[in-house]
Amino acid sequence: MPRRLSAPLTAVTRRAFSIVELLVAIAICGSLMGLLLPAVQRSREAARATACRLHLRSLAWGALHFQAARGCFPPARLVPARNTMAAAPSATWLVRVMPYLDAAAAVASWDDSKPYDAQVDAVRAHVVPTYLCPSRRGPENSLSTPGRTPDRFAACGCLIPGRTVMGGAVVDFGGNHGDAAPDPTAGSSPASGMIVTAEHLAGTSRWTPRLRPPDISDGLSRTVLAGEMHVPRDRLGVPPDNGPAYDATEFFASSRVGGIGVPLGDGPDDDVVGMGVFAFGSWHPGVCHMAFGDGRVEAVSTAIASDVLAATCNRSDGKH
């Protein structure tokens, strides 16, 4: 009878991770996450910055389409003749370009014979996503609070008294009013930008000056049309830094200047030498997106020299 061979049975033993091994594994995972998280944040910011550029480019093209249709660039706001501190019942330039940004329904409800305070709530609170930078906020966080604005001094040293303002939609992009000299809030003659305060011709819907491409003698490609507005981190939706953008009485809500004494804001925590309420600036590290008169958008370094910034904000100083 053949012998049956049998192999000895051996027990397979499994041992758990030791405490030391678990700690090492956790440390490795933590290190990998530490390396990965900044890359993810940079990727997200890059996506938001790209969306910001696209929004600003759409706004710039809206202004260019307005110019093609109306024969001039939209005025920043209208003021009565020889009275730069008041405002005629009118819309800001951001309302005027809405029809060219698929927002015609909202602007159709705007009554140009009435001041901002007398417009219906739905018009004042209409948020246009194209007017926002995703690095700062979304449409759900884009309404200003009503309240009293503090007294301010313009770049020329002129007192701008505070006033009570109503709430409304806010924006992240402002029109280029000029190079800050001599008075950025002034009416037609001193303003040197492309989107400037104009004098209302009483009894009409017209204004002066009516800036046209030939008036941009430095060239459309060399002159800023609009850009990101500097708004401190704790002032989002708070006037005057970020007030109702359709209110023509609030210069700071839809306009900015740049140049000597008013450099670009370098991030949301920069006070811009005390002139932040006038300045362009962004929340993107080291750059501010600015749209030029030919419709292109550039990421301008926040370290740009003030005289160079002034030259790009002035439409006809002969400096390129």
Within the chain, which residues score under 70 in pLDDT?
A: 1-17, 35-42, 82-88, 154-158, 181-190, 320
pTM of the model: 0.84
Query: Each residue of 163-220: pLDDT tens digit?
Result: 788 899 999 999 999 997 655 555 444 689 999 999 888 878 889 989 999 999 999 9
Cross-strand partners of 152: 160
Is residue 192 in some structural domain? yes
Whether 176 and 59 have beta carbons less than 8 Å apart is answered as no
Percent of the chain whose pLDDT exceeds 70: 84
Please count the structural domains in the chain: 1
Containing structural domain, residue 259: 36-313
- Comparing C-alpha atoms, which of 67, 53, 51 is closest to residue 293? 67
Please say whether the beta carbons of 262 and 275 come within 8 A: yes
Q: Give me the count of residues in the chain.
A: 320
Taking the C-alpha atoms of residue 71 and residue 213, their distance in angstroms, rounded to an integer, is 9
The CA angle 197-87-190, to the nearest 5 degrees, is 30
Helix, strand, coil in percent for the chain, rounding step 5: 30, 15, 50
The answer to whether residues 89 and 112 touch, using CB atoms and an 8 Å cutoff, is yes
Task: Please report whether residue 27 resides in a domain.
Answer: no
Assigned domain for 18 exists: no
* Residue 257 resides in a domain: yes
Q: Which residues pair with 265 in a beta bridge?
A: 281
- Residue 31 domain-assigned (yes or no): no
Assess if residue 21 is contained within a domain: no
